[in-house]
């Protein structure tokens, strides 16, 4: 075991735990943001640098500070280590610079992007970004690519976090994907298209922290904050069948895997559950989804009402739309 102090809070963790995961065990604002690390994807992390922290004391044996800011997702804790996350102005300044760097080529198309409202980069930009860009060059551009008939790749939005390539590598059968090119010519290889035949390829959509990989069956159907997310499950032979249904009235607009407070999927779902069951009656509804992270989609308070009440409201809305009621709020 190793004792580590993060922003003044001491915790004992297993040897080999990274600073990021030690901070997650403490929880709260000291948890560094993460755009490329993904706990269930082996070898992820170390690409985006938003998780930088200051190691003010390396260990009890060697108390010297580490000379540079460290990527917390890739740095294991040492016994006696002292780390600064939000208590270091240097760290906050560095995160701001990383966000500015990530936004250099990222288009500011949140108003028309399906990921808006649940985009890690959008949330990060609100927290650490600045209102104006200093970048005067041309942003790089790419054609949109169809990855099969269900997934759309907007390479312009990609931050090259590699998560989707890890999904294709670790969850699908063959390594037929990758990132080609170098520097600002890097792009997701179109070989990734070959991974779409796999039953689990849709998980690339859920792991993408931005709107680079989107669900074509949901594109432009609704802003995510206008939907009601419901926990639901079905008996599935390929995956756990545990999903979130993003509904509007009786309509199921999207099916996604369930994510935790760090927006990470714990149980990947198959394409059949994701794309082929867009009818409520195909599912056993468990109840409203609790969104356990800072996000505009966590702002709906409908989850406090019981399902019965929710159903009545939906029924009234349907009646109203059919012209049978004068107002959706009038039970008569």
Interacting residues toward ligand SF4 by CB under 6 A = 158-164, 188, 207-210, 212-213
Binds 113: which of ligand FES, ligand SF4, none (CB < 5-8 Å by kind): none
Residue 166 vs 283, nearer CB to ligand SF4: 166
Binds 164: which of ligand SF4, ligand FES, none (CB < 5-8 Å by kind): ligand SF4
Give least dist CB 48 to ligand FES, A: 3
Give least dist CB 164 to ligand SF4, A: 3
Give least dist CB 39 to ligand FES, A: 11
Bridge partners (DSSP) listed for residue 255: 245
Structure tokens at 59: 């260990």
Give least dist CB 227 to ligand SF4, A: 22
Going by DSSP bridges, is the β-strand pair 81-84/2-6 parallel, antiparallel, or unpaired?
Answer: parallel
Q: Which residue ranges make up the site for ligand FES (CB under 6 A)? A: 34-37, 45-51, 71, 73
Classify each residue of 172-188 as buried b or exposed e, where b means 16 or more C-beta atoms within 10 Å of its C-beta. Answer: beeebbeeeeeeeeebb
Q: How many CB atoms lie within 10 A of CB 210?
A: 21
How is the beta sheet containing 145-147 ordered, strand by strand?
145-147, 151-153, 213-215
Nearest to 31 by CA among 83, 80, 66, 76: 83
Binds 239: which of ligand FES, ligand SF4, none (CB < 5-8 Å by kind): none
Residue 51 vs 94, nearer CB to ligand FES: 51
Distance CA 46, CA 330 (A): 55
Distance CA 263, CA 254 (A): 17
Residue 36 vs 273, nearer CB to ligand FES: 36
Nearest to 304 by CA among 249, 244, 228: 228
Binds 162: which of ligand SF4, ligand FES, none (CB < 5-8 Å by kind): ligand SF4
Binds 34: which of ligand SF4, ligand FES, none (CB < 5-8 Å by kind): ligand FES
Binds 269: which of ligand SF4, ligand FES, none (CB < 5-8 Å by kind): none
Bridge partners (DSSP) listed for residue 268: none
Q: How many CB atoms lie within 10 A of CB 84?
A: 22
Give least dist CB 119 to ligand FES, A: 15
> Is the four-CA dihedral 92, 98, 104, 107 of positive or negative sign?
negative
Residue 45 vs 117, nearer CB to ligand FES: 45
Residue 55 vs 273, nearer CB to ligand FES: 55
Nearest to 143 by CA among 188, 191, 194, 206: 188
Give least dist CB 113 to ligand SF4, A: 12
Give least dist CB 95 to ligand SF4, A: 18
Binds 208: which of ligand SF4, ligand FES, none (CB < 5-8 Å by kind): ligand SF4
Residue 44 vs 72, nearer CB to ligand SF4: 44
Residue 47 vs 234, nearer CB to ligand FES: 47
Residue 215, H or E segment: strand 213-215
Binds 71: which of ligand SF4, ligand FES, none (CB < 5-8 Å by kind): ligand FES
Angle at 262 between CA 301 and CA 3, to 5 degrees: 125
Residue 152 vs 254, nearer CB to ligand SF4: 152
Going by DSSP bridges, is the β-strand pair 52-57/251-257 parallel, antiparallel, or unpaired?
Answer: unpaired
Classify each residue of 124-145 as buried b or exposed e, where b means 16 or more C-beta atoms within 10 Å of its C-beta. Answer: bbeebbeeeeeeeeeeeeeeee
Give least dist CB 126 to ligand SF4, A: 18
């Amino acid at each position: 075991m190793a004792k580590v102090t993060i922003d003044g809070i001491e915790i004992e963790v297993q040897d080999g735990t990274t600073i990021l995961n030690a901070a997650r065990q403490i929880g709260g604002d000291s948890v560094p943001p993460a755009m490329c690390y993904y706990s269930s994807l082996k070898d992820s992390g170390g690409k985006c640098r938003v998780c930088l922290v200051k190691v003010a004391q390396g260990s009890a044996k060697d108390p010297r500070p580490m000379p540079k800011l460290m990527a917390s997702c890739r740095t294991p804790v040492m016994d006696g280590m002292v780390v600064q996350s939000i208590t270091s102005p240097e760290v906050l300044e560095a995160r701001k610079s990383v966000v500015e760097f990530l936004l250099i080529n990222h288009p500011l198309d949140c108003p028309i992007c399906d990921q808006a409202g649940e985009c890690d980069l959008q949330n990060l930009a609100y927290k650490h970004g600045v209102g104006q860009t200093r970048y005067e060059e041309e942003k790089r551009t790419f054609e949109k690519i169809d990855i099969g008939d269900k997934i759309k790749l907007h390479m312009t939005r990609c931050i090259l976090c590699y998560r989707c390539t890890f999904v294709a590598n670790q969850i699908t059968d063959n390594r037929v994907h990758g990132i080609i090119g170098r520097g600002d010519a890097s792009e997701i290889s179109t070989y990734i298209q070959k991974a779409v035949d796999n039953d689990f390829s849709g998980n690339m959509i859920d792991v993408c922290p931005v709107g680079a990989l989107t669900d074509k069956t949901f594109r432009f159907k609704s802003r995510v904050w206008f939907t009601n997310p419901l926990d639901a499950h079905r008996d599935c032979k390929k995956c756990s069948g545990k999903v979130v249904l993003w509904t509007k009235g009786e309509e199921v607009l999207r099916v996604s895997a369930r994510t935790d407070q760090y927006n990470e999927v714990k149980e990947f779902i198959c394409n059949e559950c994701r794309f082929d069951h867009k009818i409520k009656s195909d599912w056993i509804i468990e109840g409203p989804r609790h969104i356990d992270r800072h996000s505009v989609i966590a702002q709906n308070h409908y989850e406090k009402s019981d399902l019965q009440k929710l159903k009545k409201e939906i029924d009234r809305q349907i009646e109203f739309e059919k012209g049978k009621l004068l107002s959706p709020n009038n039970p008569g």
